[in-house]
Each structure stands twice: as structure tokens, then as C-alpha cells.
Amino acid sequence: MPFFPINMQEVKERGWDSIDFVYVCGDAYVDHPSFGASIICRVLESRGYRVAFLAQPDWRNNDDFMRFGKPRLGFFVSSGNIDSMVAHYTAAKKRRHDDAYSPGGIGGKRPDRAVIVYCNKIRELYGDVPIIIGGLEASLRRFAHYDYWDDKVRRSILFDSQADLLSYGMGEKQTAEIADRLAKGEHISTIRDIKGTCYACDVRETPLMGAECPSFENVVNNKREYAVSCRIQMDEADHIRGKLIKQRHGNKILVQNPPMPPLTTEELDAVYKLPFMRAVHPVYASKGGVLAIEEVEFSITHNRGCYGACNFCSLAFHQGRFITSRSKQSVVEEAKLLTSMPNFKGYIHDVGGPTANFRRPACDIQLEKGLCKGKKCLAPKPCPNLIANHEEYLDILREVRSLPKIKKVFVRSGIRFDYLIADKDDKFFRELVQHHISGQLKVAPEHCSAAVLDSMGKPHIETYLEFAKRYYKYNKEIGKEQYLVPYLMSSHPGSTLKDAVELALFLKKNKIRPEQVQDFYPTPGTVSTCMFYTGLDPYTLKEVYVAKSEHDKALQRALLQYFNPKNKALVTEALKRAGRADLIGSGPNCLIKGDSQPAQGHNKSAKNNDFRGKKSYGQPKKRKK
């Protein structure tokens, strides 16, 4: 099938006399299964609906929104693949100039808070036309939420956008049911029972069942109430045992229906078999194309969901923690399709997903009872019920790499190293090292402090060290020199200046010199963002230290790059404030050189900090040519 029409001329060329749905998107139009908008549109098309695609409309006037006129059934609206505020601003709230999801990588093609702006314009022009919002921006902002950029708690996006329904999660099943019921003549105001959707109603119509979060007014005025609200939302985000959730906003009630069950293997296979063009729309060719397709054009998604559920990651709240996977046959068929594309060079860039090496739920208990409340499958240690097995994933990788025309198959999306080493059979680990890495493997230990890792919901550092030890052992055995690139995060809630010093010492000990460090970014819908705003752990309601000022964040960030001469003043200040002035000087244990006299200040003996002669499991230095 061709691209969806992007103007009335293309609508007429299809011989259509009307359009059923207009999909409005904050991204440029890329018809590829890695782009949620494309999946939703193809799902609608597969059910016989006529869909037009309105990409990055100019919100400053009416013309683009009137391009197709009023659709017969309604508008679907999303900001695109990521939240528009994250797309526009760095963790330091500085405006980005580039945008990988816009033509030529140029920023400014969508407004801040795109879902709200687009919907308000549609409502202004078309009155009571049905508007359904979805995608990441809507999904993560479905309840009253802390907004980092405004530095305040905002209402559910359903109210600010004036939309009729909010589809949260991946959305295929919700979209199909909404469309079918609208097509049968049901009014949008009566569609209130679809799983995976949110709606608003008068307080007099509040459902009797379900769990109730503290109201918008309460979470604005009381941070403890905000933390309680966060936990309720996380606890009920399970398609098997999750309850309906209510949250009052003034004289209105936000109602979240229980989560929609994830797609089965057969349903996932059907979605990825839809006739995607797998390309950027030709209209952008003269503008430099769309950069976001480069990493995914020859990549394959084989799974959904992530029971790793790191506290700073939005995946658990959006996709859910329950793992579903495509069949081996489906993945292999897609690989064969990629080899037939004209610009295929022999390389599959990834066979992965949110977490590459998950192929099934964490344990069989989840199949019947869902995921446990308030517990993690992998952190701080793997649950005794965890089933760690890579046989099926390895079988898929072997089959794909054996196909004609394929030179190499890489695994570039996240590998859970804790799950990897929990598997007693090391065949996958060995073959990963031998066949599926391009010189370096990126993994995410994030920190070394046990207290900080607990706040992150991550395994303790000993797990990473064991993984690294085995990684370099296998590389040595097969005669390869491949490195680990660890992702590290500064200023996460729970990380004090002393924790940052501990991480700097860990980096020095393991000869790791990160070129980039990520400051914690408080995005909507995560447990860590709740901690950042409230200073409380929502599961214990105990206080958590939060570095909020730009200077305090800069001190922690500088410690992670203590070796950079530009950071010397900040590192010096940080060490003195942390009571570790003993790390300033010329000794082997020091992080930075002192200006004159050896620094004093910490009563630990040098012996306790002596890393000399110990084997490094960090990234080794590259050999000189």
C-alpha cells in the first residue's frame, strides 16, 4: 500500500469522497513500524478506514488543520514518538536546536505541549468532533503530574487538551474498538468502558468501583499525597489485576479504565506484517530526510514491555511490565524483507526492543496473577521465581544471521546484564560477544552506590562487575578486543555528594572515563520524577535527598568527569563539601592534583582506597596503533 495521503490532492487520487480519520502528529511522517503513529494508522487502514496523515501542522494559523476538512469519524492526535517537551529541552531546560524527528533535523516544527495545542486548535475549528489522544506524551500525562519545565503539578492532559478520550499504552486494540464503535454510530461521550482508555465525567457520575487517587487539588498542595497517588498508579498498571483508577479534578473526575491486555504473539505478528512503506515520506527528500529513521530502518523489534522497570524509565508506565514477543517466523520474515530493500548493505542494526534479551514474562506466576505489587523482578537481586533463559532469543539470532545477504546482526538496544548472568547457560553470552557486537557494548549500571541504585530500582554494582569480568573473559578467549560503554547518571534522587564521590572513585579504580554523563531528567510518569518533586520514596514515604539546584547538579556531574581539567574548580569544591579533601593532591588515590600542600580532611587510611594492582573491569584504554 502507498503512503497515507498528506493533502487533498492525494485523497482525490485515491478516489475517496470523504476521510474517516485524520491522524495529527508532531513528528514528520515516517511510515515504519518503529513509529507509533504509523502503526496506529496501518491498524485503522487494515479495518477498512480511510485515514489521512497530518504531520507537523503549523499551529499558528488554521490552514493546515483545515487541509482535509472535518473527518467523518474523528481525529487521532499525538505529539509523536517522544514527549514534545523532552524533544525541545535538555535536562538543564536549555532549548535544543535539532530534532531527529523533523525534516533535516531542524527544531521548531512542533509546539511545546503539542497534544494540547493541536487539540485546542481542532476544537476551535470543528466544535464537537471526536478527538482521541494517544502516544507517549498523552500516556505519561494521563493523571495529575509534576511538570519539570513549569516546575509545578499540571492537570491531566485530558482536561487541558479538551479531548474526548485518552488511549494509554501501545494502543492498537483501543484504537480498533474506538473506531469500530464510532463507525457504528455510537456517540463518543458514551464510549466509557474500553480498557486502556481514560475519560472525564461529572463527579455525580463517578464509578463506584476501583481505586481512588488523591485529587488534583490535594496533590498540588501536599507532596505526600502526590507520592501516595504515584504509588496507586504504579500498583494498578497491570492488565491482569489492575483496577480502574479515579482522580478528582474540581467538579470533574478523571477515570482510567484498567489496562488493555497486551497483544498476543499472533496479534503482534499481524501488526508487523502490515504493509509499511518502511521509509520517510518523499516530500522530505529535498529537506534532508528525517534522521530518526537511520537507526531503525534495518532494525527489528521482537518484543514489548519491560519488567526491569527502572524507576527513572517511563516504559513500565507506558508499555507495561508484562513481556510479549513476536514469533520466530515473524522476525525471520521481516529480516528477509529487509534484505530485499534497495539500500540494504548486509547489516541488521538491531534485533531488540525495550530490553533486547527478554522473550517471555519473568515467571509463570505472572501468566495467571500478573506482576507483583511493589516488587521488582530483578532488583536489588533477581527474584527466586525468575526464569532466565535465552534459548529462544539465541535461536532467532542464529537463524537471522544465517540468512543470505546478511553479513552481521547486531544487538544494540538495551541488554539487561543482570538477567544475562542469571542464565546458568552461557551460550547466549558467548555468542553475543562473538557475533552481535560492533566493537563495543553499551550497558547501564548507572551508578555504584547501593543506596542510589536502590532509589533507581537497579541491581547493585557487584552484578555489573561480575558481568564485566565475564564479558572480557569471553572476548579474550575468542581473540577479540571489544569494550563496554557504561551509561552513568548523575543527580538521581537519592544521590548525595558523597555518593557522587564514591562513583568517581569507582570510575578511577576501573579506569572508566565517560565522555558523556546524563543528568537525571524528571520526565512525566516515573517513580523517580515523583521522588524528585516530593523528596519522598512513594513506596516507603521516607525522605530522599534530591539535588535540585543547577550548581548542586553541576558538582555531581563534574565528579563523574573529574579527569577533565575544565572541571577542576567544581571537583575541588565538591570534594571539600563532601569531606573528602584527602582526594586532592598528588597521591595515587587522589582524584585531582592540589595547588600546593597535600590536602587533608578524611580520616580513611590510604590503604582503604588503594586500587593499585587490582584488575580493572571497566572500559580499557584503546591500544596505540
Alpha carbon distance 151, 481 (integer Å): 46
107 with 198, same domain?
yes
414 with 459, same domain?
no
Position 269 in a domain: no
C-alpha cell at 41: 494508522
CATH number at residue 365: 3.30.750.210
Checking DSSP bridges between strand 252-256 and strand 197-202, what pairing results, if any? antiparallel
Position 275 in a domain: no
- Cβ atoms of 502 and 558 within 8 Å: the answer is no
Alpha carbon distance 135, 25 (integer Å): 10
Position 107 in a domain: yes
User: What is the distance in angstroms between the CA of the first residue and the CA of the last residue of the chain?
Assistant: 51
Domain-ending residue, one of 376, 407, 438:
438
- The residues, ordered by sequence, that sit 6+ positions from 504 with a Cβ below 8 Å of its Cβ are 559, 560, 562, 571, 591
* Biggest CA pair distance of the chain: 84
Tell me whether residue 621 is exposed, middle or buried, using C-beta atoms within 10 angstroms of its C-beta: 0 to 12, 13 to 18, 19 or more. exposed
Position 286 in a domain: no
CATH number at residue 93: 3.40.50.280
Cβ atoms within 10 Å of 151's Cβ, excluding its own = 11
The β-bridge partners of 543 are 536
420 with 506, same domain?
no
C-alpha cell at 33: 513500524
Cβ atoms within 10 Å of 440's Cβ, excluding its own = 11
Cβ atoms within 10 Å of 438's Cβ, excluding its own = 12
Tell me which residue has cell 533507581. Answer: 456
- Cβ atoms of 556 and 500 within 8 Å: the answer is yes
Position 141 in a domain: yes
530 with 483, same domain?
yes
pLDDT at 515: 83
The β-bridge partners of 212 are 246
Range of the domain at 211: 8-256
405 with 449, same domain?
no
**CA 205: distance to chain centroid?**
35
Tell me which residue has cell 489485576. Answer: 241
Q: Which helix (H) or strand (E) holds 45?
A: helix 36-46
Position 510 in a domain: yes
Domain-ending residue, one of 438, 473, 508:
438
pLDDT tens digits, 201-252: 999 999 999 999 999 999 999 999 999 999 999 999 999 999 999 999 999 9
DSSP letter string over 208-245? SSSEEPPPHHHHHH-HHHHHHHHHHHHHT--TTTPPPE
30 with 124, same domain?
yes
331 with 243, same domain?
no
pLDDT tens digits, 388-424: 999 999 999 999 999 999 999 999 988 999 999 999 9
pLDDT at 511: 92
- Cβ atoms of 302 and 331 within 8 Å: the answer is yes
C-alpha cell at 532: 524528585
pLDDT at 595: 72
427 with 545, same domain?
no
- The residues, ordered by sequence, that sit 6+ positions from 60 with a Cβ below 8 Å of its Cβ are none
pLDDT at 516: 81
* Structural domain count of the chain: 3
234 with 381, same domain?
no
397 with 459, same domain?
no
Amino acid at 113: R
The β-bridge partners of 536 are 543
Position 261 in a domain: no
383 with 519, same domain?
no
Domain-ending residue, one of 406, 438, 470:
438
Checking DSSP bridges between strand 324-325 and strand 303-304, what pairing results, if any? antiparallel
CATH number at residue 597: 3.30.750.200
Alpha carbon distance 395, 400 (integer Å): 9
Q: Which residue blocks in 427-545 are alpha helix, DSSP H?
A: 427-435, 450-456, 461-478, 497-509, 527-534
Position 498 in a domain: yes
Q: Which residues of the chain are modeled with pLDDT < 70?
A: 1, 596-625
470 with 527, same domain?
yes
